[in-house]
Structure 1
Amino acid sequence: MSTATKQAAHSPGSGVLGDHLTPAELAIRFGMTVPSLAQWRYLRKGPNYVKAGKKVLYPLAAVEEYERRNTVECA
């Protein structure tokens, strides 16, 4: 992936579809692979997603909420 795509995946609201991220964009953001995200969906792990036919999209709000819920606070 290009540097611009990697940067876009880290900027809120700048995914290909504005307020949604593709699995490829989310994989870059989380530092994991697209197949790992597919496994998470199968196991019902990770952020909520929208499925329209075969297309999978992650609402940015759901991704940010998932990140908040999984943030470990250090003393």
Structure 2
Amino acid sequence: MLILEGERTYPSISESIDRFLEKAEEEEVEVSYEFYPHKKHIPMITQFFGQEVRDMMMCWALFEKKQVSQEKRRA
């Protein structure tokens, strides 16, 4: 199993990775963990996918950002 983490990964993801690695060690599961300095989460992960998937993820991220912005205006 491969786990990747970027220096600029969201804190909640980093915390989940820490908990997962602890549990994997307890269960003696072989895990390969790699840390990438100066990397954000989404660009680091999307580098493994083709352009079509990257475009789709970018559209989703922009949609989510727009939704959050609209919710803040309503509040």
TM-score (norm 2): 0.28
TM-score (norm 1): 0.28
Larger radius of gyration: 2
Q: Which has the higher contact order (CA 8 A, sep 6+)?
A: 2
